[in-house]
Amino acid sequence: MWSQCRPAVVVFVVLSAITGLAYPLLVTGIAAVAFPWQANGSIIKNSAGQAIGSRLIGQYFSEPGYFWPRPSATAPVPYCSYNGPLADCATASNSGPSNPALFAHVKRRVELLRAADPAEKGPVPVDLVTSSASGLDPDISPAAAFYQVNRVAKARGLPVAEVKNLVKQYCQGRDLGILGAPRVNVLSLNLALDRLSSAQAATGSKPR
């Protein structure tokens, strides 16, 4: 039995060095050269060079002039991706399908959306009232974006058709035509919306 001690220790040390140090460091090195933007979090910067978000991580919006993302169960605020050691942050509601708390949450959310845009009478797209798995979902469905167009256009004083066109530009189809689900990146859409508003303000064609 003791004859297996030396091989056990040596094989463990060698495989640890290969798979736990050489391999991740090699991948890190190649990534830093070939895909530096992706490897470091797909960070979006504004014109002043300040980091204002990640292309992949959602942010919370609640003002009527922005498109709203999906509900997020993170604490202490929605879309909190890290809040210090041992604080559970990125998380889901984990509500079971028959939990009364889930129904109450959906009901409140439906009422909130209806109150923000009383003219919109249709049923609410499901992704706009249910919490995502990560709490950081960057996307909403195109249906959920179109649902909000009237509210956003009214709050910004922009023509509805123009906002609708913007949403259409930012709709992403399924990958390779079949994979995943259609979606709109909320942060990108809202940044484009801000650019559209400031362009309108600059030409003075429409007051904000």
Partner 1 sequence: MTPNAWIQILAFLVVLVALVKPLGAFMARVYEGQPCGLDKPLGFLERLTYRVAGIQPDQPMNWKTYAIAVLMFNLLGGLVVYALQRLQGFLPLNPEHLGAVSPDLAWNTAISFISNTNWQSYSGETTLSYLTQMLGLTVQNFVSAATGMAVLVALIRGIRGRQTDHIGNFWVDLVRSTLYILLPLSFVLALILVSQGVVQTLSPYKQVSLIQPVSYVQSTTNAAGKTMHQTVWVKHQVLPLGPAASQIAIKQLGTNGGGFFGVNSAHPFENPNPLSNFLEVLAILLIPAALCYTFGRMVGDTRQGWAILAAMLIIFVPLMIGCVWAEHSGNPKIAALGVNQQSSALMSGGNMEGKETRFGVTDSAIWAAVTTAASNGSVNSMHDSFTPLGGLVPMWLMELGEVIFGGVGSGLYGMLMFVIVAVFIAGLMVGRTPEYLGKKIEAFEMKMATICVLVPPALVLVTTAIACVTVMGTSAIANPGAHGFSEILYWASSTGNNNGSAFAGLSTNTPFYNIAGGILMWVSRYFLIVPTLALAGAFARKKQVPVSSGTLPTHDALFTGWLVATVVLIGALTFLPALALGPVVEYLHLWH
Query: Alpha-carbon Rg of the chain, whole angstroms?
Result: 23
Q: Tell me if 207 contacts partner 1 by CB under 8 A.
A: no
Q: CA 29 → CA 23, 35, 54, distances in Å?
A: 10, 10, 22
Q: Tell me if 61 contacts partner 1 by CB under 8 A.
A: yes
Q: Tell me if 49 contacts partner 1 by CB under 8 A.
A: no
Q: Tell me if 33 contacts partner 1 by CB under 8 A.
A: no
CB 75 within 8 Å of CB 90: no
Q: Tell me if 165 contacts partner 1 by CB under 8 A.
A: no
Residue from 64, 81, 164, 196 touching partner 1 (CB under 8 A): that is: 81
Across 74-87, b (16+ Cβ under 10 Å) vs e yields beeebbbeeeeeee
Q: Tell me if 176 contacts partner 1 by CB under 8 A.
A: yes
Q: Tell me if 77 contacts partner 1 by CB under 8 A.
A: yes
Residue from 95, 150, 188, 197 touching partner 1 (CB under 8 A): that is: 95
Q: Which amino acid is at 62?
A: S
Number of chain residues interacting with partner 1 (CB under 8 A): 115
